[in-house]
Amino acid sequence: MLPQEIIRKKRDGGRLSEAQIKAFIDGVTSGAVTEGQIAAFCMAVFFRRMELDERVALTRAMTHSGTVLNWKPLGLPGPVLDKHSTGGVGDKVSLILAPVIAACGGFVPMISGRGLGHTGGTLDKLDSIPGYTSLPDRPVLERVIREVGCAIIGATDAFAPADKRIYAVRDITATVESLDLITASILSKKLAAGLDALVMDVKWGSGAFMAEFDDALALAESIATVASGAGMPTVALLTDMNEVLGRTAGNALEVRESIDLLTGASRDARLTEVTTALSAELLVLGGLAPDEAAARALVDQAIASGAAAERFGRMVAALGGPADLLEHPDRHLDAAPVTLEVRAETDGFVTAIDTRALGVAVVALGGGRTRVQDPIDPAVGLTDVSGLGSEAGAKAAPLAIIHARTGEAAEAAATMVRGAFTVGQSAPKPNPPIARRLTR
């Protein structure tokens, strides 16, 4: 099948067969399909859209363009489960959820990504732990999954290589926002991980890539339906990103907050609720709990007993990090030399937050990238970030505390942080952290 004829059919609004989609993706993987043809295909899909069966076929073809893990030979005594987030400011759920699920009897080979735009990446957070190997070879991955129950790693070129090539073209051809291509991109890598079930955290709000609720809802519906159609039971939760998730934003700072939650040192209510809700969905999907109430009780017990913290510590050590990270986090996590409290200039309550602007402030401090090759400073970022409804003013708690390398950088970030908060005289009604639940 000639790639140009496949492109022509979709350009003219036709419905592609599974064989045509597979042929095109095979060409993408082998190099027979050019970048220009990939660009034309993506633009045709962007404008003409795909039907459900086309999305499923595209996802499957991209999944099988590279390595697909098979956990059955390991004889794991529990289901293989995972969670994926569309990303947000302060989103550290993966660091907590993976060891929680492992402590409850599941196995979590979590393939995560790096920061994108104003949102932090799970791998960047883990890279702030000295010695942690985020790209282990397959024997190491299998050993850690078998012995610990969870491993949070990055995707190598072996996983869904067609997606990597297509995404690079989408990024420079204004087709990143295609719902069909987003769905296939996310799910191809998750299906390649050999999962028994998946929970999706689709975020919406000022700190999410999809600021509008209806756009996030459409993506959640697409992912839940296509994943189930491809043979992987999936639930999607729409979660609120109109404020920072937790109290920190910045790589080492978020690792520390995750450790504090796991060990009981401190616990942010919204972060706990989102993590518990996503974990409970996975436990039910994996057959480890009969219903949501029982699943939530298992999650609470895993954290309260220290079992989840113990799994996190073992995962870090098994992947090259320090064995005593839980006991001595300050000994191993880099700290910025300058801290600066940012307070509101008027008294009142926080009525709105430009959460994206807070993420941009972290990037400006050096906690994210403006270019692919940029290094990341793991120590910088924000702590004690106020949420909606918090008191603000000269006598109230600070809007946030900046952690920076220099005083000049801290002052520049303070202007950005102060501008991200709107202060009024009446406390707003809080947004529920979970806005919607979707299945196929």
Catalytic residue among 67, 134, 183, 185: 185
Q: Are 217 and 223 in contact (CB under 8 A)?
A: no
> 234 by DSSP, 3-state: which?
strand
Catalytic residue among 189, 247, 314, 356: 189
Catalytic residue among 10, 22, 55, 170: 170
133 noted as active-site residue: no
Q: Are 56 and 16 in contact (CB under 8 A)?
A: no
Q: Give the distance, in angstroms, between the CA of residue 243 and the centroid of all CA atoms in the same chain.
A: 16
170 noted as active-site residue: yes
Closest by CA position to 282, among listed 223, 202, 200: 200
122 noted as active-site residue: yes
Buried b (16+ CB within 10 A) or exposed e, 253-273: bbbbbbbbbbbeeeebebbbe
Q: What radius of gyration, in Å, describes the C-alpha atoms of the chain?
A: 22
Catalytic residue among 29, 85, 383, 386: 85
CA distance 125 to 127: 5
Q: Give every strand in the sheet of 338-342, ordered side by side.
A: 338-342, 400-404, 381-383
Catalytic residue among 55, 190, 311, 356: 190
CA distance 331 to 310: 18
85 noted as active-site residue: yes
Q: Are 24 and 58 in contact (CB under 8 A)?
A: no
10 noted as active-site residue: no
Q: Give the distance, in angstroms, between the CA of residue 121 and the centroid of all CA atoms in the same chain.
A: 7
Write the single-letter amino acid at 179.
L
Instruction: Copy the structure tokens of residue 176.
Output: 């990143």
258 noted as active-site residue: no
Catalytic residue among 65, 82, 133, 201: 82
Catalytic residue among 84, 118, 203, 247: 84
12 noted as active-site residue: no
Active site residues: 82-85, 122, 170, 185, 189-190
